[in-house]
Chains A and B, each alone.
Chain A
Amino acid sequence: MDGVFANLMFITLFSEFTLKVQSMFSSIFAQINTGDPTSLILQFFYLLSFFLFIFYGNRLQTYLMLREIGNAAGRLKGMKDTARNLAIATLKESTKEAIDPTPRIDHFLEYFTIMPASLDPTGIVPKLDHALDVRDQRFRDEVKLIAPTADDVKTNDIEGVLEVAISLNTIYRVVNHFYLLGKKTMSLYLIMQIQMQLPMIMEIAESYSVAIKAFADGQPIGDGAGALVAAKFMHGNETRKIAKDVVVAETQFEGRRLLVLKAEGPGSTVGKPGEAIKKLIDENEGKVAAVIMIDAAGKYEGEKSGETSEGTGAAIGGIGVDQYTIEEITLKYKIPVHAVIVKESVKESVSPMTKDIYEGTDIAVARVKRLIHERAKEGDIVIVAGIGNSVGIGQ
């Protein structure tokens, strides 16, 4: 029945189309006979555009998309070149030696990390942790090699600059790859994939190009909101190193013993807070009333930057190694993990800290104090972990 209906529909449409074309041609011939050239030219162009859009509509759309991607690739090239030049300038500024760091930086801009095979996911976290440790060490060694006279803070800042320059270079290479591949194949669907994501890609790239200056100058970035909250708790107290690039300070609040940790500032680093929390819990034989984590987190469109909210669970980004470590150790001793987040956009998280976010950290401090008051008794131990990049934030 469906087949018959489809056939009838086809016949009807085909006859209508034939009639339409017939009437068009008869109108053209009528105009030739009456000798009206303007109308004839108009009809010709009308018909031409009609057939052109039927057969070449997709190709036209492909060209428009390609042009958009090409323009974006051009802008990205400018951004990655600026980032490269800034990385070179920062390194030259940090070393008194007359060696030109340009060739080494150019090699390093395409540095990559191969993630462990996940075919059999058992035991993948330690492998990931190891791969990231090797990567971090390689970065540090590279910076030390180019700028041996740079102190630890400057070394961390240069690492941040290099990380951002590598990210911008990678974004450019991927977009340019799709642009050239799209041009070669003229495949609409291949081009569409990158064109649809371009607004997000460009937003991230633009924020990176602002962030690189912040890293080079040592300015706090939005991601450092968590670290700033912890710094406000630990300031004025003696600190000790607990894990790689992480410091802890002991302080008191309403009779509760607080162990406050953050990445060691003011250099650019996030450290290994997972390992630090594990060590602190082990040191206290699991007798910890609560772990409170503060971190910057992505906001939804329409939400105000710097707003705070609370929840449960390990508030920490990254690849998941630290989160896994915290979840494992808190599960072992059945320690509740509370989270306080400071909301911000992806762009804000890597750009210099805004006043809204800075004010949000004061609200976060108040929320953490309330949590400590409500979730722990006098004499209890509470771990307060400020997560995030500590660039421009001391302790």
Chain B
Amino acid sequence: MKTAQKGPPIPIFLIFVVGIFLFSIYYLYDAVTAFFNGSANASFQLFLGLFGFATSFLALAQFLKRLTMTPPPVPKILTTVECKNDGFKNVRPFAKGDYVFKTVENCQKCNEPMMITAIYVEEPPKKS
């Protein structure tokens, strides 16, 4: 089965973007000298330099973002175990075989069997 192809290798892309970046700096320098010499080309060169600078900067920023991108965190599942006898509550990480209303280990306080009352994902801390 044919599948989706990958994009161009990273070094070629980098060389290309860095090349544009250097050219745009050259054009910006050229624009400044042209302006002081009174040449009519200053605006063209400024436009080209700024355009090249903006595109290469954006491409580089995106590339760096992709490099530093971390995979989404694996959700942490919690199991709440409660003792119906004395109300003792314990929240621990989910273990394979846990299910809601399963009778599990004995209570630390009264030694009566406890029950799983909830299994849910631990929410990541919200950004303020």
A-side interface residues toward B, CB under 8 Å? Answer: 36, 38-39, 42, 67, 69-71, 73-74, 77, 176, 179-180, 210, 217-220, 228, 231, 235, 265-266, 351-358, 392-395
Contact = CB atoms under 8 A, between A and B. Distances in A.
A231 B102 CA distance: 12
Interface string B104-128: 0000000000000011111100000
B2 A393 contact: no
B38 interface: no
Given A42-B41, A42-B48, A180-B2, A392 B123 contact: no
Contact of B4 (A38, A70, A265, A356): A70
B75 A392 contact: no
A77 B94 contact: no
Contacts of B118: 358
A168 to B, nearest CB: 15
Closest 3 CB pairs of A and B: A266-B99, A73-B4, A394-B101
A70 B41 contact: no
Contact of B119 (A42, A69, A353): A353
A70 B45 CA distance: 36
Contact of B123 (A36, A39, A355, A393): A355
A179 B45 CA distance: 40
B4 A353 contact: no
Contact of A395 (B4, B44, B101): B101
- Which size class do B's interface residues fall under? 20 to 34
B14 interface: no
Given A358-B118, A358-B120, A392-B119, A42 B44 contact: yes
Given A265-B100, A266-B102, 5 more contacts: A38-B45, A39-B40, A71-B4, A355-B122, A394-B102
Contact of B77 (A38, A67, A77, A352): A352
A393 B118 CA distance: 9
Contact of B96 (A176, A217, A220): A217
Interface string B65-80: 0000000000101000
B9 interface: no
B37 interface: no
B97 A218 contact: yes
Contact of A74 (B2, B4, B45, B99): B4
Contacts of A179: 4
